[in-house]
Chain A
Amino acid sequence: MANEGETEKNKTFKLLGILDVQNIPCARDSVLYGSAGSLVAGLGYFLATSRIKRSFDFGVGGFILTTLGSWIYCRYSNAKARVQQKLIQERMKNKLIYEGTVLDPTRKPNSSSPDIYIFFK
């Protein structure tokens, strides 16, 4: 147990000392997209206007907005996938337990097979 903590500590890299981009889902991708967005926004503004200071402002603004947008989209997709995974697990369990009975989730209504009822004490 002690060695687990040491190897995990060696592997973590935290941006600004707080954001563990290696272990938090979606963090690494969001920061990378944000960096790309920052480059596009800052460089694009500079090429259009040649204003250096304002280009940096746009770069930082682009980083924040792109990171936030990518983060929200990725976390929402992950949350949906997690819910679906739990539903699938629940239905697989129900299929195994109730196969061939009235409660079988894959049973089609009005099927020709005889109904088997389960009685609980």
Chain B
Amino acid sequence: MAHPSQLGLQDAASPVMEELLHFHDHALMIVFLISTLVFYIILAMMTTKMTDKYILDAQEIEIVWTLLPAIVLILVALPSLRILYLIDEVENPHLTIKAMGHQWYWSYEYTDYEELSFDSYMTPLQDLNPGQFRLLETDHRMVIPMESLIRVLISAEDVLHSWAVPALGVKMDAVPGRLNQITFMISRPGLYYGQCSEICGANHSFMPIVLEAIPLDPFEDWSSSMLEEA
């Protein structure tokens, strides 16, 4: 999760998010260089002698300020398109989970093998234990096995919602009557937090998402225990 007053991206927990972090660094370096150039041009303009007020054309400078932006755009577009196609790679996921948005909670269904489903409500402030995070904790986490390709089918039962987990680089709208699909793989175990990302009413800020990534054996134990409780 984000630490207090964090401005930058969260640490990556999936390969796609790692690529997005690297692309963000690359784009930031280009922005820095362009800003340096612009600041220098502004400074240089303050000391000009204004002797070229009546020039009618300047082929060389026109070529330069056409080619340079084109090169900059190519430098940004190529890595961007590479990541875009990387995200859309089609592979067979190991597990499919349905995430349904409601006002104002998420429900998860694990229906690959048995019928396992549960709701995930935000833990209210008064029920938090010491060390837990305000507005981020839930009563039931979405538990998934790490290092496995997971497919999440996202939809909504009432109004628009959006299922987002920044550390994994995933965000997808939950649209009533529509099934949206995302796939991701979590590289390391841990807890990953997200929040609803589409305005959906009074408690839009109070329906968080918590992913718990664990190895496969504990995941199987968890799913067995959840089925026994149900």
Contact = CB atoms under 8 A, between A and B. Distances in A.
Determine if chain A interacts with chain B. Answer: yes
A9 B3 CA distance: 10
B67 to A, nearest CB: 14
A74 to B, nearest CB: 10
B36 A30 contact: no
A24 B28 CA distance: 10
19 contacts: A4-B3, A5-B3, A5-B4, A16-B35, A19-B28, A19-B29, A27-B29, A53-B44, A63-B36, A64-B33, A64-B36, A67-B29, A68-B29, A68-B30, A71-B26, A71-B29, A75-B22, A75-B25, A79-B22
A60 B37 contact: yes
A90 B75 CA distance: 31
Contacts of A18: 28, 31-32, 35
Contacts of B31: 18
Nearest to A20: B8
A95 to B, nearest CB: 18
Nearest to A61: B37
A5 B10 CA distance: 12
Contact of A15 (B1, B32, B47, B75): B32
B6 interface: yes
A8 interface: yes
Interface in B9-38: 22, 25-26, 28-33, 35-37
A8 B29 CA distance: 21
A66 B24 CA distance: 20
Contact of B32 (A5, A19, A56): A19
Contacts of B1: 1
Residue among B22, B30, B33 with most chain A CB within 10 A: B33
B66 interface: no
A24 B1 CA distance: 20
Interface of A: 1-2, 4-6, 8-9, 15-16, 18-20, 24-25, 27, 30, 53, 56-57, 60, 63-64, 67-68, 71-72, 75, 79
B47 A53 contact: yes
Contacts of A25: 25
Nearest to A24: B25
Nearest to B1: A1
Residue among B1, B32, B33, B40 with most chain A CB within 10 A: B32
Given A27-B25, A53-B47, 15 more contacts: A1-B1, A2-B3, A4-B3, A9-B5, A15-B32, A18-B32, A20-B8, A57-B44, A63-B36, A67-B29, A68-B30, A72-B75, A75-B22, A75-B25, A79-B22
